[in-house]
Structures are given as structure tokens and as C-alpha cells.
Structure 1
Amino acid sequence: MMKKKKCFYYTSMFLFISTFYLFSSARTGYTAQSPEDLMTKIDSLEQLLLYEEACVLTHELLEQYANFDETDRVLLCRAYLKKSFCFGDEGKTVESIVVLEKALAIAMQIKDSTLLSIGYRELGYRSTIAGNYEQGFEAYRNALEIDTKLNAYENIAISLNAIGKIHELWKQFDKALDFFYQSLAIAEHLNNLDQIAIRKASIASAYKSMQNFDLALDYLERSLALETELNNEVRMGYRMDQMGEIFTILGDFEKAEEKLLSALEIFRNNRILVSESIVLNHIGFNYMKKNDYENALNRYIESLAIAEQTGFNNMKQKNLRELSSLMQKKKNYSEALEYYKQFVAIRDSAFTEQARRQLLDFQVKYESEHKEKELAIMNQKRLEDQLKLNQARQQHILMFGIVTILIFLLGTLYSRFQIKKRAQIKLSEANRQLNLMNQTKNKFFTILAHDLKNPIYAFRNISTSVHENYAELSREDLKYYTGELKNTSEKLCAFLDDLLKWAASITGRLVPKADSIELKPLFEKLVDLCSPMAKSKKLSISVDIPNGHLVWADRNMINTIFRNIISNAIKFTPENGWIKIQSNMQSIHTEIKISDSGIGILPKDLPKLFDIGNDPSRIGNSNDKGMGFGLFLCKEFIDKNNGEIRAESQPGNGTIFQIVLPNKQPK
């Protein structure tokens, strides 16, 4: 036992000293070293799994020696390949592709087949991630041709599997399965358990896309068993992600969530951004199927952010499409339409007709080469069978021509029908949007009339009373009436100010100027401004906000938001009531809660509070109904400051407004 401990101790010390020496030399004083020595250190760091340090050293090597004519071209090509891997691991897909093209240019100059094969396979992978399937397909085709000449069967299996994945993305599932099974056969012949596990997972993915879920789960369980046996944590995460997605489709949401969360933890621990984006999307889909729309929305947005960071266009499309569906379920049709427009814009550029033609060319070339190899080893019987087949083909030429003409005519008629149908759909949608805009315009004018009515009527009534009874009024009466005129004019000015701000906001002239704002002094000032109104109704207003609670927002907009909400609370709270203002600061956002003991709001009216398409005069329970124009402006300003607002209420139990705003500047 003591010997084992000593052995472990000396081994650990050796690795520590080696790592320290390698990394410290990467940081200081190696400018006099040759590029060969630096590459040796990079390889050593990678063997010790110190990939970040290896990346640092690779970047610095290229900065010093990339432009030296004396630098070994093979070594320089290897350095560029390593740099592309580093960019890929950092989620910088575009930068990775740019560096790969430099590496491939050098490999072509020196005619190094091995480096060309590595470069093309990596280019195929990065291009596929970026959604450029045409470039990815071409790169894998080049790698397959080179590896076939080199008899590099393991690499042939990798390229065949990758080409199958692109067929799967193009929804050509039978062809995808053909390539997957070819790749699996090579892996089994080589008895490569790692590759066998991956190939079975690829086959499962194709069966899942074909909705053959039983076969898909069977292959995934076989693959996961191999990955567990090999103790390959990352690929165990891939399999659990695939299984979780299938369980969601089958309606077993709890089992799906268990698998997906386990996969997410693995990918986050290993900082695999692309896979993290995929599994977050699958978790969002699982939540949406469970009708848990808020959690679904959060996961989709996280997945979309990572996909945009890494240039993962395929996952960007998937997130945008599913976000559009989610917003339709939430009846937020404007957001649903916006997400769908973004999805269509990316989708239309992802797969061109040129890619289809190149795919066909490659298929013909690949099949021809395969047949030539088979012909070289065929016996006489195979040749006779081929001759009979050719004769049969000649006999059916006439029939084939007739069928082709009929298909062409039917296709033309169908195409014209579809064009006409799409035009009718567009016209109907345009009419619907026009009617909706007219309805919204009418309701907007109703809102303005409702909120202007009370102040203007008050002006008229007070001024009429003063005018008709001037001789009989005492100084106290005059002071009271002029005070009422002052209060009414201030309310009217505040409303008109809000209206002008809203108009500037929707026309794009009002741009938020965010800053760090401490909440406690802001609310204390607002409460002082509103205290005359509160005192007139004998209301108590308490501010329970600790020092140091912040938000990152536009100060003027935030003042307008909270002033409107507090004014509404005073307006709808009976005498001797209370209003409380509280805050809860978390890591990236702060939640502000404004509650009152007012008359409350009916549940059916809550969804209408922030919708400009609803008549505010129908909301509320008091004689003075309506939240007024202010809440629409609050919603507009909170959206511009990347926040959220929601309300909770029951008639007779008061109302709680919750506002969530960021407390840090977005990175």
C-alpha cells in the first residue's frame, strides 16, 4: 500500500513539474527556441489534456514564425490545423474555417495527403455546424477520396458517417442509412469499439427521423452500453440527449427530462458549446410539450444565444422555428411572426440548388467508382446478368419516356396551381392585417379619449364653478379651487408627457441610454412626489429596498415606469390602505415588487393590462375604471430596457406588479 502511494506521489509530482515547465516556457523566454521545439511542447501539452495552454502556445508560435520563409511547411500546416481546432473549441466557427483554408492551401502546396485528409474532415465538420452543407459535403467527399487511396479504413468510416449525417439533414433517410451501415461495417471489421458506438448512434438518429422510435431506442441503448463500458463521458451525454429527445416525442416527459438534464451537465462540465445548444433546445421542446411555456421559452433563448455565438445555423433555424410555435401557443402572434421571419431568412440560404446538383454529381461519381471496383472482381455470371439487365432497360425506354412527359405536364399544372394558391393566401393575410390595424387604431383613439376625459371635465367644472360663484367665494374656497386646477393640470401634463414619450418610442426617436441606477433613492424621491395624493386618501407607502440594489436601465424611462405604477396604486386603493415597494437583487437581474391593498382586478382582465388593442375603460372595478395609457407606456419602456412586467390580482385583495430588470451591462 505504501509503495502504491509513493508511486502515485512521484507520478503526480512528475506531471506537475512537466506541466509547469511546459506552460511557463510557453509564457516566457521561448522566442529563441525553434518552431520544432515549440511544436513538441504543444504536442506534450495536448497529451497531458492541457488544451487551453496548448492553444495559447499555438497562437504565439504562428505569430512568430508564420511569415518566416525558413519555417518547415509541414510544421506550419500542423500549427494552422491546431489553431483551427482551438477556434472550434471556443465556438468561433467562422474563424476556424478561415484558418482551415490556410492549412489546406499549404497541404496542397506540399502535397501531403495525410494533412489534406485531416483538414478536409475538419472543414466538413465546421461547415456543417455553420449550416453550409454544400461546402461540408464537398469537404467530406475530398477526404473520402484521399483516404480511399491511402486505404485509411478508420478515416473512410468517419467520412462515410459524416456524409450520411448530411443526407439525414437533407431528409434523405434511406441514403443516410446506407452510408451509416457502410461505416458500421468497417468499424466492426476493425473491431473499433469507439467507432461502433458512434455508428450505432448515427443509425438510431436516422430511425428517429423516420419515426421508427423502437428501433432508434434499441440502437441507442446498445451505443450507450458501449460508451459506458469505454467510460466515455462526453459521448454518454450525446446518447442520453438523443434518448431524451425520443422520450419527449413518445410523451414520457419525466424520463426525457432526466436524460436531458444529465446530458446538459456533462456538456457544461466539458464546455462543449455546440452540444449544449442542442440539448437546451431539446429541454425547451420537452417543456413546451408539457405546456410549461415559461421554462420552454428560457431554454430556447439560451440555446439560440449559444447557437448564434458558435455560428450553429442549423440549431438557429430549429430554435427560431420552435420559438415561433411557442409564441403562437402563448397567443403572442406578433413575436411568433417575428421569429418565423428570422427562421425563413436563415432557412432559405441554407440549402441551394447548386448543393443539390453537386450532391447528384458526387453520388453518380461514387456509385460509378464502386461499380468499377465490383466489376474487377465479378465472374462471368455477373457480366451475363448485367447484359440481361441492359436489355431489359432498352425494352422499357419508350415507357419511361411516356411516363416522364406525363410527370412533367402534371408538375407544370401543379406548380401553377400552387402559385395561384400562394397569391390568394398572401392577399387574405394582407386583408386580415389591414382589418386588425384599423381595429387597433379605433381602440387607441378610445384609450386617448378615456384618459383625457376626466382631467378636461375637471377643468371645465372647476372653472365654471369659480366663474359663476366668484363673488360668493371666500379666500379659502379660491385656494381650494385653484389647488384642484393645479392638480388636474399636473395630471394632464403628465399624461401628455407620457403620450409624447410613447410616440417617440414607437417611431424610434427615443433610444434608451442605460446606466447603473440605485433603486432606494429613486423610490424615495418618487414617494415624496406622490405623497400629497397618498395623504389625501390617508394611504401609507413603505419602501423596503436595501442599499446597493441596482438596475441597468435608462433613468428617465425607469422614473416614468415606476411613477405610473405607483400613481395607479394610489388611484385604485381605498382610504386608509397601504402600498409596499420591495426588491430582490439576484446575480444578473433585480426584481421589483409594488403591491397594494386596493380593489383588485378581475382575472379575465389581467391579460388586457398591457395590450393596446383592448379598451381600458372596460378594466377595473371602481367608478373610475381603467389603468390609463400609462401601463401601455410602462410595457413599451420595460421591453426597451430588456425587462419583463407581470401582474397578479384578485378582486378585493389588491394587486401586485412585478418588474424584472437587468442589473448589469450586457456583455
Structure 2
Amino acid sequence: MSFGASGNSEQADSLHQEVQNKEGEEKIRAQLDLAMYFMVENNTEAQSVAHSALAAAKKLKNQTLQMEAFFILGRVSHSLNNINRSQTFFDSALTIANQLDDSWMQSNILMRTGINQHTQSDHLKALQSFTMSIQAGRQSNNFRAVGASYSMMGTVFRVNGLYDRAIEYIIKARLNYEKAEYTEGYAWSAYLLGRIYADLKLMDKAMEYYKLSLETYERQAKQDNNLNGVAICYEQIGILNLLTGKIDEARKNIEYTLQIHEVTGSKFGIANAYKNLGRVEYFSGNYALAEEYLKKALSSKIEMGDMLSKPSIYLYLGLCDINTGRPDDGLANIHKGLDQAIINNQKRIQLDIYSKLSDIYLDRNDLEKALACQQHQISIQNSMLLGAANIKLEQLQGIYELDAKNSQIAALEQQNEINRLELKQNRTSGILLIMAILLAIIIAIIIYVFYQRLRQKNSQLEEANIAKDKFFAIIAHDLRGPVHTQTSFLDHLHQEFDSLEKDELKKLLKLLVSSSEHISDLLDDLLLWAQSQVKKMEVKTTELELNRVIQNTVETLKQSAKLKQINISLDTDNKLKVLSDANMLQTIIRNIISNAIKFTPRGGSVSVKTFDSGQGQVTINITDTGLGMAPEKLNKLFDITSKNHSQGTENEKSTGLGLILVKDFIEKIMEV
């Protein structure tokens, strides 16, 4: 593809000519068109032209032109990062739109208001504004504004980790963009779906949507020569390739985005390209070149006032310093990045930085600081697991009800509007009056029926929220135990390090490894459960040697069994093979044997036996000499909201999560 600037000087000259040659309302409209053109190239010039148009519209007392001028000034102020001033202009525009009963402009203004609120992290108000924009857009068939509002609602849900809702709203956005025949909106929807799947670590699915978006943007670029969409797609494709180890492909992708941004003159795009090239060269081991790119990116970001990108730039600058023999400079840079990430409330980046710092301090044999970094990681993970996102599900319930109600009565609103106009034209007609009364009664009945359905849906949502809250509480509680154990071991190791014999030291390190593996298992279970709940977990069946799967699983549990002096015996057929998902099968076996160990008294035994049960089926028989289970507890075994969980024989904590995962995975495997 050949490069070219998106701006068109001939178009600018033509608009200038119209402004000079026209008078009155026509001149003001030409000024507004010129302001919109400059908004892409020069926001300051756009602001000046729009102010002139507003002053002229006020002299003519033309409310429609005043409204449009206020709206453009709001957009320009947003581009200049003056959000408060932007919202003042939008509020003025909305007041006039309400007076004129202009639902088309109401939809546009409310959508832009929601974007301002999202920028200021007021997500609940943003969702309310987008919902009102959708209502107004439906009344006026402003499908483009409806699509944009749904798209932004999807973005709000994505950044708060509610991926199933995000996907739902972005698909709605795509459908409305199709109605509006807005190609760029369709491409943007595919791009956002790619971002969601990338967040979920579903790299193949993310790549599929990025390529779909790229294909659409490239077709559009052939018509309008605007390569911004192409650039953002190649940027994300490059990042995906970097994360999956395809360094050379990633470099080509990011270098291509840099070429595009240099032609279009996008300072923001150029800075991002240098940041990503710095990451690519870091992972390639070219630390000097990486540092050069990162410093260019940092300089541009500081100039633009972009605080969100600074933490990752400082992180990789610090890593380059450390790898080139400047550890003190490196740590200073990394801590700069951490401080900025804390200010920005960027929890995922904080986790990444603390992880890198922990590794660095371990390499320097500074166990105290390494442990402190690990504790910070755990604290952040706990806050994320306990739902410390900006939006709580219960807060969104009102928005969900409003959106559902809008969807159900949208057709009734249009019919009611038609009847309202008919009543204005035929006030003396008794027949129409009777029809209007009947229609009102029918609408009231329908709304009542919908209200009852929404109340039922409310109840279901409350039950789901209770279950989810219980699940997160269980995870946080179960994770805290092994973390505290690990902390105690590390503290003992730190206090007694000089007096410990080599064998004792090895024993303590082995226990620490075991504790870390247990924490890892818990987090793995959480990820598996979360993927399962949003229906993104695919069952991948392969032929497995059952004996090997069982032996590998038992090996991970030997330490916990040894601590309780419990013997695990295996009577497995080496020839048995099964068709199953390896990860799910291993999770099932691990959880059942782990439970057997937990509820078996010290000195007991656990036996695992496999045999061919005929008709193409294999049986795995796991028995123990444990306590057994009362019938009333057995009935609530798979109820995540139940608090009736027993402790192990030596007061080990039990959450009931393991067997819930077992049941869920067995059902998924059986469906294949």
C-alpha cells in the first residue's frame, strides 16, 4: 500500500472559499464544516473557526447553528484534553437540542458526554449517558450514534474485566453500524473484539479479529487515504506477535506503523511506535537500540502529557540499564514507572513491575525486598479478585434493567410517537381520542408485563451476584493461607540463614517451592473457572496415556501427603489410553486426590486404581481411609453459595471450590 496524508489541501481551500463568498446562515455552515475539517489537522485552528461561527449564529439568533457550534467546540476541547470545558459546551448544546426536540443531535451529544465521563473514570454516569443516547438515537434512526454508544459501553465493560457483557455490547454496536452503512464503525467493532480476546489471552481469536478489522480498514483507506485504522491494527498484531515470541514479525509490524504515523504526522502514534519498538529490541537483546527508542517515546509522551504510557516505558528503560551493567540506574527507572502506575491506578502494570522487581532483588540476593515485592503482588491480586474494579455488578443492575426495557419497548415508543402526532392534527376527532386511550391502556399493560419480567430477571441477577461474591471471597481466603505460610518460611529463612545447615536450607527451600506451587494451582483454578464461566474454554481432546497423567498429578501432591504421613498407592494399567482434555483431566484427578489427603487422618492411605470397564470406557477408582461425608453435606457439595464446608483432619481449610471445578470439567468433557 502506498502512503499518503489523510488531509486534503484542495478541500481546505474550497471550504475557505465558501466562507469568504457566502453570507448569513450559509457562511456559518461553511465555517462549521471548516472547523470539522481542521479538527483532524489543527485543533487550535478548529477552535478559532468554531468560535467565530458561534458568535455569528448568536447574532442571527439561530438556535440550530448555535447548537452545532457548541457541539463542535465540545469535540475540539476534548481533543485538547480540556474535558471540563468540553462538557460545558456539550451541556449548552444539549439544552438547545432539548428545546428543539432534536433527538438526532440529543443522541450525538449524549454519546460525546458519555465519552467525557469515561475519560474521567466516572463509568456509571458514562453508561447512563450512553443509554440515553441509544434511546434518542432509536427515535431518530441515528444508527451511527447508537453504534458508537454501544461500542463505548463495551469498552467500559472491557476495562473493568466484564468481558461477556463487553462482547455483547460490541456486537450490538456492529449491527447498528451496519444499519448506518458505516464501514469504519464495523472495523472498529472487530478491533475492540480483538482487544477483549487479547486480554483473555486467547491469542488466536484476537489475531482473527485484528485481521478482520485490518482488512476492512485497508479497503476504506483505498477510498479516503486515511491509514489511522490500518496503523492501530498493525500495532496490536505486532504486540500479539511479540507476546507469542515472533520477534521478527513483531518488528516488521511495528516498523510499518511507524512509517504510517510519520507520514500522517501523528505524534501520539509515533510515540507509541517507538515504545513498542523499544520492547521488541529489548526482547531481542539489542539493549542500546531499545534504550534509544524508549527515550524517544518517553520524550514525546512527556511533551503530550500522556501519563498512561510512562510506567511501561520506565520499566523497559530500567531493564535495559540492568542488562547493560547499570543496576542502580535501572532500579531508579523501574521505581519511577511503579510510582506513575500507582498514580494512574494501573493495577495490571503494577503487577508486572512488582514481578520484575522481585526477580531483580532475588538475583541480587536481597530477599527482604524480593519478599516485599511479592507481598505487593499478592495484595494487588487480592484486590482484583475481590472485585475492586471501578464498577460493581450491583451498581450496573439499574443500567441493565434500563437497557433491557429500552430494547423491549423501542417499537412501542415509535408507535406512540406516531399516535401523538396524529392527536395533535385531529384534536376534535373523538374516534382518535378513544384510540389513544385504548393505546395508552395497552401500553400500560405491556409495560406492566415487562416490569414483572424485569423483576424476575432482577431476582436471577441477585442470585448470580451472591454466587460470584461468594466465589471471590473463597478465592481470597484460600489464597491468603498458603501465602501466609510462605511468608513465615521466608521470615524464618531470613532470620536463621547464617545458622542453617545446608540440608536444613534445602528442606526449607523445598517447602517454599511446594507452597508456591500450591498458590500457582489456586490461581490456575481461578483462571480455568473464569474462562469456563464466560464460555471461552474449549475442550481439546487428545489421546492420553492415563497412567502417565495420574503419575504426574500424584507427583505434585507427594509433599502434602508426606507431611501427613499418608501413603499414596497406585494400581494403574500402563496400557490404558483415553480421549480427553489433558489439562481438565489433570485438574479433576488433582482435586479429588487433594481432597482425599485433606480429609484422611495422619498415617492413613489413599489408593488410585484404573481398569477397563468395557464398552470403550475406563474407570478411575480413588479411595481413602478418611472420615467420609454426612448425607446433608453431600447434598450441598456442588453449591458454591453454601457455607457448610468442613475442615480437614488437621484443620486444613476447605472452600468447596475444587469439587465444583471437577463437576464443571466432567460435564464439559462429557459434552464433546
Q: Shorter-chain TM-score category?
A: 0.3 to 0.5
